[in-house]
Amino acid sequence: MELISPYVYPILKRVFLDREKYMYLRKISTFTEEDVRDAIMIELKVDKNFLSTKSRKTEYVDAKKIYCKICMDCLGMKCVQIARNVNGYDHTVVLYNRKKYNHFYATNRYFKEKADRVLALLGINQLK
C-alpha cells in the first residue's frame, strides 16, 4: 500500500484517488450533507424543512435518524455540527438517534426499507 504525503493530500481531489490503491481513504465520501438531505427528501417524501420541524410523525422522526447516522458515519461530521443543523437538538440527541437507527434497522422491516432506499440513492452499500 502506497502512502500519500500529508503535505500533498489536501490539494488532491477525492474523486480522482484510486480507493483500491489507497485503502485508508475508503471512508472519504463523494457526496455532501446537502446530498444527504436531498436524498432523504426524495425517498421519504418529506418537505425541505424536515430537520427544523418539531413534528412527531414517523416520517420526520425516521428521516432525522437516517440523517444523523449518515452524517456521522459517512461524512465524519461531529455531533455538535449535526445538532446545529437539526432544530432544537444537542449532541446527546444525535448520539441517541444514531443508536436508535441501529436498533430499528435490525428489528423494523419498514425502517430498513426506508434506510436502504436512501442509502442506495447515495451509492452506499450498507452502514455498520
Residue 96 is predicted with a pLDDT of: 94
CATH of the domain at 46: 1.10.1750.10
Tens digit of each residue's pLDDT (9 = 90 or more) over 45-90: 999 889 888 889 999 999 999 999 999 988 888 999 999 888 778 8
**How many Å from the N-terminal Cα to the C-terminal Cα in the chain?**
24
C-alpha cell at 114: 426506508
Residue 61 is predicted with a pLDDT of: 93
Establish if 99 belongs to a structural domain. yes
Tens digit of each residue's pLDDT (9 = 90 or more) over 91-116: 999 999 999 999 999 999 999 999 99
Residue that is written with C-alpha cell 436512501 in the block = 118
Separation between Cα atoms, residue 53 and residue 48, nearest integer Å: 10
In this structure, are 10 and 54 located in the same domain?
no
Contact 95, 46 (CB under 8 A): no
Give yes or no for residue 12 having a pLDDT over 90.
no
**Single-letter amino acid code for the residue at 58:** T
